[in-house]
Amino acid sequence: MLEFKRLTVRPKEVAASLIIVGVFEERMLTSAAAELDTASDGLLKRLMESGDITGRLGATALLHQLAGLSAPRVLVVGLGEQRKFDAARFLRANREAHKALKGLPVEAVASYLTEVEVPKKDIAWKLTQSALAADYAAYKYTATLKARAERVELREVHFSAASYDGDALDRASGIAAGVRLARELGNLPPNICNPAYLADQAHELSRRYPDIGVEVLERAEMETLGMGALLAVSAGSENAPKLVVMDYKGGSGKPYVFVGKGITFDTGGIDIKPAAGMEEMKFDMCGAASVFGLMEAVARLKLPIRVVGITPAVENMPDGKSYRPSDVLKTMAGHQVEVLNTDAEGRLILCDALTYSLRYDPHTLIDIATLTGACVVALGSHATGLMSHDDELANELLAAGETTMDRAWRLPLWEDYQSQLETGYADFANLGGKYAGAITAGCFLSRFTEGQRWAHLDIAGSAWDAGRKGTATGRPVALMVQWLMGQK
């Protein structure tokens, strides 16, 4: 991953492979861009007058060998209209700038975008978000690709912050490491990243960070505990289920417990999914991946709290042993659940994992899951769906999302929706019908978290970029780490 450093040298003297500066529309230069313009005898202004540099938000122009500069390259990124410039546009400019670096033979970059004023945001926020944007763009998936000849790649990013002496870049480095791990696990193919692989990765985390203890429950132990719902989902797969528990003991007091859905591949089971797009179902373990990423970040940052990460890891496959529509499953909590659709499997593994988590007497309990297509329909890819009966917790998580721009949107969890889960053959069903699917899934989980300070995060739309070249995003690691850093 990238190394982040604080920059105190002005653009004219900086010895980097490339300098990043911003310009607004209407031919308005930022202070750093103005310094480069002066050093190069007005070149930037001439290029803006000719239309070669527009200042349009996110548009980039790469310039070579500007006179009067030590750096051989300058990347100019558009900031849009100055009067509309805000946090979202700041992040967009950073992301587009670092995307433009891909393929360039640069090892060290000096960014002066952190000098640009962002309403209601301080230098620490700008440094953190700029660093995360840089690392996000620099990530490359290579695990199953043929080895390529070595070439010059970006290693360091220096951010202008002459008067700042805080730890924002260290925090960003910890969060970035967690996001990278979550993305890598999500991107791996399901023949590699299966339940056993996730268990191995937990042990690897424990080897790197001695403060993380690991326990892996096998099928026999889950049978003894009565995890009938989780085991039913796994019944059709040759890959044995695992319940992976990671316990970071960085402080005393009640733990913050996170439960991440780990369906390492989801065919839908007997209610099999359409073939088109089924390859994306390797991403159905991104809830578990985000919990792994969270544990990585928390351990790197040495947060003075106790955090427990639990990931029920199974594969949902069609087979002669698979569970069926109309089966009635007994959960660890003792509830009898009628299966109306075997593709509503995530809530079935989560309900037993949530019940298991109660033995830790959580301070707060949060589950993260690529749970429903209904959430994607409602919110698209921009926002994570958030549900909770606890207004204080919901507001804290929403605020953390706004700070990191890893945003969530709260959906209602009213008692009115619970009736949709009613059935004449069990205590309740695993499906609530055609309407409000994301909410009724949250209602189902709420029945296993009564009396808890609990929230549900549906990341079905935000966990990966859809399409053949789509990759895991690592969300909502940044949101969760930000929230944890604010806990006492």
Q: How many CB atoms lie within 10 A of CB 78?
A: 22
Average pLDDT of span 149-167: 90
| Nearest CA-CA partner of 187 in 147, 140, 133 | 140
- Residues 474 and 488: their CA atoms lie apart, in Å, by 25
Report the percent of the chain where pLDDT is more than 90: 94
| Nearest CA-CA partner of 405 in 30, 120, 156, 84 | 120
DSSP per-residue letters across 447-463: TTSTTS-EEEEE-TTTS
Q: Does residue 165 surpass a pLDDT of 80?
A: yes
Which position has the higher pLDDT, 467 or 180? 180
| Nearest CA-CA partner of 403 in 87, 53, 60 | 87
Strand partners, 461: none
- Residues 188 and 286: their CA atoms lie apart, in Å, by 11
Identity of the residue numbered 257: V
Q: What is the pLDDT of residues 231-246, one digit of tens each?
A: 999 999 999 999 999 9
**CATH number of the domain at 173-485, out of 3.40.630.10, 3.10.580.10, 2.40.240.10, 3.90.1300.10?**
3.40.630.10
119 CB burial (10 A radius; 0-12, 13-18, 19+): exposed
- Residues 284 and 433: their CA atoms lie apart, in Å, by 22
Q: Does residue 149 surpass a pLDDT of 80?
A: no
| Nearest CA-CA partner of 456 in 471, 467, 443 | 443
Tell me the catalytic residues. 273, 347
Structure tokens given for 218: 């096998």
Q: What is the pLDDT of residues 201-212, one digit of tens each?
A: 999 999 999 999
Q: What are phi and psi of 105, to 5 degrees?
A: -80, 70
- Residues 106 and 97: their CA atoms lie apart, in Å, by 13
**CATH number of the domain at 3-160, out of 3.50.50.60, 3.40.220.10, 1.10.3720.10, 3.40.50.300?**
3.40.220.10
pTM of the model: 0.97
Q: What is the pLDDT of residues 381-393, one digit of tens each?
A: 999 999 999 999 9
Which DSSP category does 464 fall into?
A: B
277 CB burial (10 A radius; 0-12, 13-18, 19+): exposed
Q: CB–CB of 118/90 below 8 Å?
A: yes
pLDDT for 230 equals 98
Strands (DSSP E) found in 126-268: 156-160, 212-217, 242-249, 256-260, 262-266
Q: How confident is the model at residue 307 (pLDDT cuts 50, 70, 90)?
A: very high
Strand partners, 99: none
pLDDT for 161 equals 95
Q: What are phi and psi of 258, to 5 degrees?
A: -120, 130
Peptide bond preceding 11: is omega within 30 degrees of 0, i.e. cis?
no
CA quadruple 398, 401, 403, 405: dihedral positive or negative?
Answer: negative
pLDDT for 401 equals 98
The alpha helices in 342-416, defined as continuous H runs, are: 346-357, 373-379, 391-404
Q: How confident is the model at residue 124 (pLDDT cuts 50, 70, 90)?
A: very high
pLDDT for 26 equals 86
pLDDT for 148 equals 81
| Nearest CA-CA partner of 285 in 406, 369, 202 | 369
Q: What is the pLDDT of residues 356-375, one digit of tens each?
A: 999 999 999 999 999 999 99
**Topology agreement, domain 3-160 and domain 173-485:** no
The HSE-up count of residue 67 (CA atoms within 13 Å, CB side) is: 6
Q: At a CB cut-off of 8 Å and minimum separation 6, what does 352 contact?
A: 222, 225, 227, 228, 229, 230, 312, 331, 332, 333
* Angle in degrees, CA 398, 404, 408, rounded to 5: 35
DSSP per-residue letters across 44-102: HHHHHHHTSS---TT-EEEEE--TT-SSSEEEEEE---GGG--HHHHHHHHHHHHHTTT
Q: What is the pLDDT of residues 28-55, one digit of tens each?
A: 999 999 999 999 999 999 999 999 999 9
The gap between the terminal CA atoms of the chain, to the nearest Å, is 30
Q: Does residue 147 surpass a pLDDT of 90?
A: no
Ramachandran class of 218: left when φ > 0, alpha when ψ lies in -120 to 50, beta otherwise: beta
Average pLDDT of span 427-456: 97
Average pLDDT of span 258-281: 97
- Domain boundaries, given as residue ranges, for the chain: 3-160, 173-485
Average pLDDT of span 5-21: 93
| Nearest CA-CA partner of 230 in 245, 218, 246 | 218
The HSE-up count of residue 54 (CA atoms within 13 Å, CB side) is: 6
